[in-house]
Every structure is written in C-alpha cells, then in structure tokens.
Amino acid sequence: MYTVIRHYTGPANLADELKARSKDIETLISGVPGFINYYLIKTGNGAVTVTVCDDRAGCDESTKRAASFIRENLKNLEIPAPQIITGELAFKTSSKTSV
C-alpha cells in the first residue's frame, strides 16, 4: 500500500469547505484505481488530507484529482499548493470503531 499526505495551509475554513463537499470528494476520490481510504483532518491553519491506495500510481492520481477539484470548486479561497509527502505504508493498525 502507498500513502500520500497533503498539507494545505491558508484559509482556516478550508476543512469546513471540503467537508461541506464531502459527497463530491467521495465520488471523485473513490474512483481512483486502487483507492483504499481517504481522511480529512482539520488543522488550525488549513487542512491535511491522507489518501491510501494500493500503489503509488493511485496516490499520484488522487493528488491530480485533488488539485483539479480545489481549482474548480474552491476558486473563492486563496489556497497555496500543499506540502506533499508520499511513501509506502510500512505498518497499520485500526480499531473497529469509525468517525
């Protein structure tokens, strides 16, 4: 599995704006080949997203789709390009509860 983390700084309401469009994001990102999980984290100065896919190609595609989505749907916000961290998922654990 492969992971991409995108750290967006800028508008404090960015995570709220993305959450308000969660159904659109779900449709967009779940269509990525090899998609496994997506997380949106609200931070004090923007948002962080985490995408997990079967391989790097899926994560690269998710980043392209995320950039396009933000350009097309959040034109009113000034959002600098995110800091992007990618890598192979080395370990995971989870509980049966969800958010």
pTM over 0.85: yes
Strand partners, 41: 48
- How many Å separate Cα 35 from the centre of its chain? 12
Angle at 97 between CA 93 and CA 99, to 5 degrees: 105
- Smallest CA-to-CA distance from 10 within 87, 79, 89, 94 is with 79
In degrees and rounded to multiples of 5, residue 48 shows phi and psi of: -125, 135
What structural domains and CATH numbers belong to the chain? 2-88 (3.30.70.100)
Strands 35-43 and 2-9, by their bridges, are unpaired
Mean pLDDT of residues grouped by 10 in the chain (99 residues)?
94 90 94 96 93 97 95 88 95 76
Residue 97's pLDDT is 67
